[in-house]
Chains A and B, each alone.
Chain A
Amino acid sequence: MSEEEYRTVLATLKEEAIYPYTEDEMQVVKSVESCINCGLCIQHCPVVAAVGLDRFSGPRSIAVELSRSPPEYWTTADVVYLCTGCGTCREVCPKDVDIPEIVNLIRARIFKHRPDLVPKQLHAADAIIIEHGLAFVPWEDPEEKVESRDMRLERLGLRYIPDQVVKGADVLFYPGCQAEERAQEVKESAKIILDYFKVKFTLLEEMNCCGLPATLLGDDKTALELALKLKKKVKDLGVKMLVTTCAGCTSNLARIAERDAWGIPVYHMLEYLVEEIGIAKLSSTFKRNTEEKPLKVTLHDPCHLIKHTSRITMDYAGQILSLIPDVEVTQSFAHDSCCGGGGLVSYHAADVARAVMKENLAAIEETGASRVVTPCPLCTAQLEDNLFRQGSSVEVDDMTVFIAQRLP
């Protein structure tokens, strides 16, 4: 069998648009096979609720219709890129159908074989990831980055803990691209918290994206490269565990750490606080707030925590908030509602992302809370942007920042 002959075979596969499934992917396909078309997912899909079935035909259509024949995957680009990947469908499904994964699988094939059908904004995002190894273009002038950081610290009343890279530290703190480049206060707050509890932590010498955005836009190759690069850095540092403050990073890092045998656990900061620091220690920590009236707070649940990692994370969020004096938590009726920013939808279909957010905003206003807290800098940005557009007086805090501000 010559190589030339094998190329003939590959040429036919390409011509017939047959993109072989790998063995791993067959597990996903197998899960989708169990769909019984019951439609429960349609009733719960936040995108369907926001924009209707005519715009986004919904998770059921992805299971019973769009994912049946790989040669036709390219035709689904107008639908699958509108999924925010929130994972609600998978959670409500009585047959455990893994819709978010099949969406990634289909996107990966479209990206590889019909890149012209991938929204152009996602190609732009991909180019940035490939060039910089980060989801955003890094600051051109490091001085400006520092200035922006200091302004944020000052505004929020946070102290500065210098960055440190320590081999053999217990904890690698991984801020994720959003906290590294944009919401720097989240990264700073995490350092404050770790420092407060005297944790031996380290940062990466050079930050690189965990690869989630590349996976979501279908660029599996780049996603894998980033994951392997990160693994090497983690291994070189010889840490015992990884802590992050980003919901998306938490779920993705947990996934790739298991897949690529990193051999260390991945925690979200909330999990780390409750499981490693411990409630007992936390309960004696928080200082009395200076505010006269208790602050009315409501929580937003990031999909990547509750649906892709574990629901317990948000129980922890509630527990931690309950330990902070002068904070009164009100439940929002918009449980499980996606911020609309998932799946990179906001990059290319801002109207859909905003429509998804709308239900959330109404629910937040309804609680009468003056502040929304959420343990994810991306959700925070998405909420902030939309509340501002709506002219709302409700403020938004990333929960890591919220906690750091209330440490003595």
Chain B
Amino acid sequence: MAKYDVVVIGGGSTGTAVARDCAMRGLKTLLLERDDIASATTGTCAGMISSGLKYMDEPDIVDMCSDEVVYFKRIARHIIEKNPILTPLLEMSDISSGGNFAEEYSKRAETRDVPPVLFLTPEDSLKIEPMLNPDLIASLYFEEYFIDPFALCMLQALDAKQHGADIKTYCEVTDILTKKGSITGVQYFNRITDKMESVKTKAIINAAGPWAHKIAALAGAKLELRLNKGAHVILDRRVVNVGVITKAIEGRMIYLFPHENTVLLGTTALDTWEDPDTLVASQDEIEYLLKSMEWVIPSIRDARIIRTMEGVRPLVPTWKIPEGDVTRGYEVIDHEPEGVSGLISFTGGKLVVCRHMAKAATDLVCKNLGVEAECKTHIEPLPGNSDDVDILALAKEYGVSQHTVERMRARRGSETATILELTRNHPEWKTTICTCEPVIEAELRYAIRETFPQTLNDLRRRVRLGTGPCQGTFCTFKAASILAEELELSGADFQLEIVDFLAERWKGKRQSIRGEQIAQEELAQGIYACVGNLDQALEELDYDLKPWEEVL
């Protein structure tokens, strides 16, 4: 039986950060993820590495967030972008609530290389963002950084791997083995090999996010979480020039953020007891977001909604207060006092502090194991960290369009040249597979070979396949055939891959489908059902309808 110093459970931003930290400190590390990297909470967030703007009442958290932004800019600059943000003020009362924020934000602005909060006149605000309600009386202006959350997790995982860690996706922990109150190992079901497997370890870091309490329970430990769901509405293309933050109907803050080539409208915050795996955004959540944003962006309903996404936050369990008053800090819980030695769990936290959380937990594990090693995760860069990829030269050298190369750079950083080099032996791999992003065949092949995806959905997280306005209408069959070739899938599995991916896309489309997206859906159905006959093949394929799919 294989033996590890530490087993990390969960492949989100925190789990991959922990695996990276542990591996960099020389611990023999295994990361187990029941699905794919960044497939749940992290994969449904807005990617904001926030300066802590919503939590100005917790100055130490704000300090922490601010520092972490600086570190991210150092280690992952190729997957970071900056968004200017406006908070339009429609009434005098909005101004008073902005005061404390402006002061706290501005204190730390310089370290992040952004200006302090500025007050803009209505005229200047409208020049920057003509979509704003012209009745505004002023706006607050500030700047925040954003990161590609999928890429962050993947790069942390890959970097951990390069430092000797084993990363196993599609391995669901089924039991935690203990002896006399101490952890001795982990048992898990490997979905790829269809087998139960187990490993020995004395330390487990439970970074399972909204499932963390279930993992703790496997060891007989108690963990409480306040699960809270949040929905985003994703709009096609950048319909706003800058980010917009405003008060929602009940006074919470919501936002509209340009993200890559889309705009994200979010988010809701509802305490939940639903299954995070099958959660979809509700009509109420969509209307709540549109109604709330409509005051400051009156034309928001004209924008094309591509889809929605919904995730679950594993908040620190503080009760009988509104969600917004729950700390955005995190807790590292050592279960030793309750008689489970070697198990460390997280509650709370957020994307921007994932590295900080990892450091805290890894420090504790090192202490417990008697290992002395310094944390370097804020110094050593992540793979591909570079902002000087010469787009024009690469486009010319490989005969690929500049835009294709630039989008590839945004996902891959300095790996771009390596991917393009593949087209020397395979000029046909310059074919565009996903026409919305775009993604060429070479990058798909590279992602399949280097970043261990098992499904088209996994590929989506790696290359943004099928995330554009057509939602997989034109890339699914092409990408499936490439995946089938690379992974040597059977004909039936190839078809199942297509159906699964379309079902996953449908999960996000169904609740919000309206306007142009209905026409788009007709086309998708025409291709896959009328032409591809996949609807007729379902029975033979032994396909189980997903909970969000209508019963035929």
Report A's interface with B, CB cutoff 8 A: 1, 5-6, 8-9, 12-13, 15-16, 18-23, 26, 29-30, 32-38, 54, 57, 60-61, 64-72, 75-79, 95, 117
Contact = CB atoms under 8 A, between A and B. Distances in A.
B341 to A, nearest CB: 50
A23 B302 CA distance: 14
Contacts of A30: 302
Contacts of A95: 516, 519
A79 B403 contact: yes
Interface residues of B, number: 57
Contact of A33 (B138, B303, B438): B303
B124 A9 contact: yes
A29 B304 CA distance: 11
A41 B470 CA distance: 16
User: Which label, helix, strand, loop or mixed, suits the secondary structure of the A interface?
Assistant: helix
B416 to A, nearest CB: 13
Nearest to B437: A65
Nearest to B241: A20
A72 B241 contact: no
B523 A64 contact: no
Contact of B241 (A33, A67, A70, A77): A70
12 contacts: A12-B84, A13-B241, A15-B82, A21-B241, A26-B131, A33-B303, A37-B470, A37-B523, A68-B436, A68-B468, A69-B260, A78-B402
Contacts of A26: 130-131, 239, 299
Given A8-B115, A78-B395, A13 B84 contact: yes
Nearest to B391: A75
Contact of B520 (A20, A37, A65, A67): A37
A13 B128 contact: yes
Contact of B436 (A22, A64, A70): A64
A77 to B, nearest CB: 7
Contacts of A37: 435-436, 469-470, 473-474, 520, 523
B516 A36 contact: yes
B503 interface: no
Contacts of B469: 33, 35-37, 64
Nearest to B471: A37
A72 to B, nearest CB: 6
A72 B261 contact: yes
Contact of A64 (B131, B303, B470): B470
Interface string B73-91: 0000000011110000000
A79 B118 CA distance: 38
B120 interface: yes
B127 interface: yes
A33 B300 CA distance: 13
Interface string B469-485: 11001100000000000
Contact of A9 (B141, B258, B407): B141
Given A18-B84, A30-B302, A64 B435 contact: yes
A61 B435 CA distance: 7
Given A38-B523, A77-B402, A72 B436 contact: no
A12 B128 CA distance: 11
A60 B82 CA distance: 29
Given A20-B128, A30-B302, A64-B435, 7 more contacts: A13-B241, A19-B241, A21-B130, A26-B239, A65-B436, A77-B402, A79-B402
